[in-house]
Chains A and B, each alone.
Chain A
């Protein structure tokens, strides 16, 4: 139960962020510069969750992002998030990036990697997509916008963890 909540609660947060992100950015006419909270969750999951839980979280976050994105083949974000998760897991074994600055740097790099992967997958699988220059043009701005979300998601994740631990202690009493 606790494991399921550990996966579900951050996903719920991502769902809410993605739900509000789209109309909010459209209202302020900055639709193209959308931060990627799903990617931030993947980086945090790689650091804080066990491998299997993190892998599932990444896949489900990718699925959510696929649902909210639209216009790209279903599975694109799932694949990207899984690969980013593997990369972050590999990084976390060598670098404890809990520090907000380090987390932001890792997320910045992860975002650049995600743009690269996006470009590759769309080039391979999407026969209708032709705005490749847009991906390159937005790669760095999007990475810069997404990077600060890492420490935020890490804080949210620690909050969830604290709540779940408290509940657990309560049930033991």
Chain B
């Protein structure tokens, strides 16, 4: 084919290519018309690609949002954990306060009930333990300034603790009823059996009493008699830990479970005067 013929063909092709879109525009620019074949074809051509990309992008965006969301969740989680720790601390303090409030209320009730006694509230500030981890001595935050003297009884609403052993400045040490040096007059009031409660050190104290034919029951309460002129009458000391007494010479012995657990003791009363139960008061005890 000659060059000028080629050029002519090219020009004709150009003109056709330029004319066709003009006709298409003229046709498609009309207001009221139905969808043309060209439009349907183009829609079919482009829609799948757009759909696929749309899906891919939506998936990507969703994954991104999910990731960002998770980052926020992680932050939220850490903040909530910190909050939970704080709240646990608050709850623990509240629980401690509740227990303390109950204990103090109990002590207050006890003090009101025992109006006849002059009770001095004291806080346990230290406790000595034996190698077997049983408490052998308590230290209270009351001393000479509060008129505390040696042999003053130390009690709680739940039972007898012991007696003041030494007083020094603002503090005093208490000899527990479990101490080997401790002995006090006690009785099983329902049976009319009275005797002495003797400390054994690390083991449970022993209730030692004269020969008696009575049948004992485990768990029976032992009360102070007031005869020793130290402890006021009628305070719970402990409970029988066995029902069959052991004979030692002319006397019988029964192990006693103390009414208190000394290791958990935090507050106690020092009896500084009990005129109704003790005519002369504990100061008179030599």
Mark contacts of B128-171 with chain A using CB atoms, 8 A cut-off: 1 yes-contact digit, 0 otherwise. 00000000000000000000000000000000000000000000
**Count of chain A residues with Cβ under 8 Å from any Cβ of B?**
34
Question: Does B84 count as interface, using CB distance less than 8 angstroms?
Answer: no
> B121 CB to closest chain A CB, in angstroms?
74
Contact between A83 and B18, CB atoms less than 8 A apart: yes
Cβ < 8 Å to B, chain A residues 14-73: 15-16, 18-20, 22-24, 27, 51-52, 55, 59, 62-64, 66-68, 73
Contact between B28 and A64, CB atoms less than 8 A apart: no
A23 and B13 contact, Cβ closer than 8 Å, known pairs A66-B42, A68-B50? no
Contact between B46 and A24, CB atoms less than 8 A apart: no
Contacts of B264 in A (CB 8 A): none
Selected contact of A67 from candidates B13, B26, B43, B54, CB within 8 Å: B43
| Chain A residue at minimal CB-CB distance from B29 | A125
Cβ < 8 Å to A, chain B residues 46-73: 46, 49-50, 52-54, 56-58, 61
Question: Does B214 count as interface, using CB distance less than 8 angstroms?
Answer: no
Question: Does B38 count as interface, using CB distance less than 8 angstroms?
Answer: yes
> B37 CB to closest chain A CB, in angstroms?
10
How many B residues touch the partner, as a band?
20 to 34
Contacts of A16 in B (CB 8 A): 49, 53
Selected contact of A23 from candidates B24, B31, B54, CB within 8 Å: B54
Contact between A82 and B57, CB atoms less than 8 A apart: no
Question: Does B104 count as interface, using CB distance less than 8 angstroms?
Answer: no
User: In the complex, what distance in Å separates the CA atom of A83 from the CA atom of B21?
Assistant: 11
**Which secondary structure dominates chain B's binding surface?**
helix
Selected contact of A76 from candidates B20, B25, B45, CB within 8 Å: B25
Question: Does B1 count as interface, using CB distance less than 8 angstroms?
Answer: no
Question: Does A141 count as interface, using CB distance less than 8 angstroms?
Answer: no
Contacts of B36 in A (CB 8 A): 74
Contacts of A161 in B (CB 8 A): none
User: In the complex, what distance in Å separates the CA atom of A148 from the CA atom of B29?
Assistant: 32
Question: Does B17 count as interface, using CB distance less than 8 angstroms?
Answer: yes
> A16 CB to closest chain B CB, in angstroms?
7
Contacts of B27 in A (CB 8 A): 73
Contact between B17 and A59, CB atoms less than 8 A apart: yes
A52 and B13 contact, Cβ closer than 8 Å, known pairs A27-B61, A79-B25? yes
Question: Does B12 count as interface, using CB distance less than 8 angstroms?
Answer: no
Contact between B49 and A19, CB atoms less than 8 A apart: yes
Contacts of A73 in B (CB 8 A): 24-29
A78 and B50 contact, Cβ closer than 8 Å, known pairs A51-B10, A52-B13, A126-B29? no
| Chain B residue at minimal CB-CB distance from A15 | B49
Selected contact of A75 from candidates B28, B43, B50, CB within 8 Å: B28
Contacts of B43 in A (CB 8 A): 67
Contacts of A124 in B (CB 8 A): 25, 29
Selected contact of B22 from candidates A18, A27, A59, A75, CB within 8 Å: A75
Selected contact of B25 from candidates A19, A24, A55, A75, CB within 8 Å: A75
Contact between B49 and A121, CB atoms less than 8 A apart: no
Contact between A55 and B46, CB atoms less than 8 A apart: no
> B26 CB to closest chain A CB, in angstroms?
6
Mark contacts of B182-197 with chain A using CB atoms, 8 A cut-off: 1 yes-contact digit, 0 otherwise. 0000000000000000
Contact between A128 and B31, CB atoms less than 8 A apart: yes
Q: 4 smallest A-B Cβ distances: which pairs?
A: A75-B24, A67-B42, A75-B21, A19-B49
Of the A-B pairs whose beta carbons lie under 8 Å apart in the complex, a sample of 23, sorted by A's number, is A16-B49, A19-B49, A19-B50, A19-B52, A20-B53, A20-B56, A22-B50, A23-B57, A23-B58, A66-B42, A67-B43, A67-B46, A74-B25, A74-B36, A74-B42, A75-B21, A75-B28, A78-B24, A86-B14, A125-B28, A126-B25, A127-B30, A127-B31
Binding site for B on A (CB under 8 A): 15-16, 18-20, 22-24, 27, 51-52, 55, 59, 62-64, 66-68, 73-76, 78-79, 82-83, 86, 121, 124-128
